Structure 1
Amino acid sequence: MLKKGIYIVFICLAFILNSCKGTKSVIGGETATSLSIQKVMSLHQGASPNFNTLASRVQVVYEDEDKQQSITVSLRMEKDKTIWIKASVLGITLAKAIITPDRVSYYETVSNTYFDGDFSLLSDWLSTHLDFEKTQSILLGQSIFNLDDSNYKVDVVNNLYKIQPKKQPFNFIHSLFLNPTSYKVVSGSVSQPNDNRLLSIRYGDYQFVEGSYYPSDILIDASEKDEKTKISVTYKNIDVNAPVSFPFEIPQGYEQIQLSK
C-alpha cells in the first residue's frame, strides 16, 4: 500500500512509526529550454551525486492526525551498497537500521522488536515494488521511476522540465519535475485515484558539496482515504568520502516483527 511504502522508505529508516558547512545553496537561475527527453534524462542521470561514502545528521519530523514527533537521525551511506541509520531523541538511541541491495534489517529499543528480511518480503507486504535503488534515490534527489525514453515525454512548465508517461498507466498517475540548473528532482507525485491514494515528494534548495548536488530539505505528503501523513527531512550537515563504519547487531531477546497486510 502506498502509505506503508512511505513508512518503509522513511519511517522504517528513521524509526518514527506509531546550511551545510562549506557548501552553498543552489536555487537555480537557468532557463528551461526545449530539450529532447533523451537529453533531459541523460542530464538527470549525470546529476546523481558522485561519492564513495557519505555521513550526515538529519532532522526528521513526522506528523499525522494524532501526533507530531521530531527525531535526530545519523545517516551513513556507501553508495550503491549500504544505507545505515541510527535514530535518537535527546541522545537516547531509539532504533538502528542497515539496508543493502539484498537485505533490510532494523530494530527498535522502545518495543524490543526487529525486522530482518529481504526487499521481496517488504514488496509483498506493500503490494508495490520496493528496492534499495529507490530508497537511495529519494535520499539523494534522484528519480524513483524507471525512465524509459521510449515511454516518457518532456515539456517545459513554469521553467521546469516536466517528465511524464506518454500514456499514463492505469491507476498509477505519476510525473516528475526537474530543475533546469541542477537537473535534480524538484517534485514528484503518484496518485492512485481508484484507491484514493496520493503521494508527493518535494525538495527544497540543493546544496553543492564536493562537486555534486545534495538535497537540503525533503517534504513528503501521503494520503490514503481519510488518513494523511507528512514527513519532513532536513540535512543538517553532509560529510563526503569520510571514513565511516556500519555497526549493527540485533540485541538478544528482541521479538521479530511479522508482516501482515
Structure 2
Amino acid sequence: MRRNILNSLFLLALVSLTMACKTKKKVVVVPPVSGVAPVDTKKMETLEMLQGKDISYNTLSLRGKARLDINGNANNVSMNIRIRKNEGIWLSIGGPLGIEVGRAWITPDSIKVLNKLQNVYLGKPFNYVHRFTNPQVTYQLLQAILSGNTIPELMRTEANLTAQNGVWEISGEQADLAYRALFNTLFKVSEYQLNDLKSAKALKVVYGDYQNMNGTLFPTTIQINSMAGTQKIALNIDFSKVESNLPVEFPFNVPGKYEVIN
C-alpha cells in the first residue's frame, strides 16, 4: 500500500468514522415511519428532546471490522477505537492476520499518525484535517459522530427544524458548511449530510440498527461516503464490541527510526 493511501486511510477515517456496536443482545428494531408528523412543539424543546437521546459517557472502547474503499482500492481492516470525552481519540488499524499497520492519536489541538508499513510519522495541528474537510469541522464534531450523538454545532435555534415523512429533520448552513441531519422514529440520528459550499468536499454518514445497552441505544452498523476533490472513500463498519466508562489507555510512541513526513 502506498504511503499516501495509508495516510488517507487514517486521516479520512478519523474525519468520518462513527461509533457502532454489536453484541449478542437483541437488536432494537427502528419502528417504521407512519407518515404522521411528530407532535408540534417549540423548536428549543424539540432540539432538547433530540439531544436527550444522546449517549452519556466519559470513555468509550470500540472494536470491529470494516471494509474501506479508497478510489476503488478496497481493503478489509480491523479497528480499535478509544475515546476519552473532550480529550482524545485513539485509533489502531489492523491488516491481515491481525497485524497492526498503523496508529493514530487525535486531540482538540493535534493529529498524529504512525504508518507502520512505511516506518513514517506524521504530526500536525488539528486544522490539518481541513485539507480533506470543511473548516467548520471541529474535534467536537468528530467526537459526536464517533459516539453516534447529535452534533452540538448543528443543534441551534437558527437551524431549520421540519417534519419529513413523519420524522424530524434539521438543516441549515454555517459559514460555508451546508448540513442536514435526519432522525428516525427512535429520535436517534439516522443520517448526516455535510457539504462544503465552496469546494468538492462532502460527507455522508448513515447509521444502521440499534441495540439496547443499559438503557442506551447504540448503532450497530454504519456506512460512510466521503469525497474531497477527486478522492472518494466508502467505509462500511460493523463493530463487535463496545464498552463505556472503563479505564482506557492511549499508547503512542514514535520509534527513533521513523521518518517524519509532511
Whether the TM-score (by the shorter chain) exceeds 0.5 is: yes
Q: Which residue of 2 aligns with 1:203?
A: 207
1:174–1:191: 8 Å Cα contact kept in structure 2?
yes
| Distance in 1 (alpha carbons) for counterparts of 2:118 and 2:51 | 40
Percent of aligned pairs with the same residue?
22
Which of 99, 102, 114 in structure 2 is aligned with 1:107? 114
- TM-score, normalised by the number of residues in structure 1: 0.81
Once the two structures are superposed, residues 72-112 of structure 1 have per-residue CA deviations (whole angstroms, 9 ceiling, x without a partner) of: 01112222222211111212111112222233222010121
Shift in Å, 1:180: 3.4
Q: Secondary structure at the match of 1:146?
A: helix
CA shift in 2, pair 1:210/1:124, >3 Å: same
1:218–1:232: 8 Å Cα contact kept in structure 2?
yes
Q: Secondary structure at the match of 2:56?
A: coil
Alignment of 1:100-179 (within 5 A): 100-123=107-130, 126=133, 128-144=135-151, 146-147=153-154, 149-165=156-172, 168=173, 172-179=177-184
| Distance in 2 (alpha carbons) for counterparts of 1:197 and 1:240 | 32
Structure 2: any 5+ residue segments left out of the alignment?
Answer: 1-6
| Distance in 2 (alpha carbons) for counterparts of 1:6 and 1:35 | 43
State the number of aligned residues: 248
Q: Which residue of 2 aligns with 1:190?
A: 194
CA shift in 2, pair 1:128/1:244, >3 Å: same
| Distance in 1 (alpha carbons) for counterparts of 2:213 and 2:168 | 23
Letter in 1 for 2:249: S
Q: Secondary structure at the match of 1:246?
A: coil
| Distance in 2 (alpha carbons) for counterparts of 1:153 and 1:13 | 24
CA shift in 2, pair 1:152/1:231, >3 Å: same
Shift in Å, 1:186: 0.6
Structure 1: any 5+ residue segments left out of the alignment?
Answer: none
Letter in 1 for 2:130: S
RMSD (CA atoms): 3.0
1:6–1:222: 8 Å Cα contact kept in structure 2?
no
Q: Secondary structure at the match of 1:47?
A: coil
Shift in Å, 1:70: 1.1
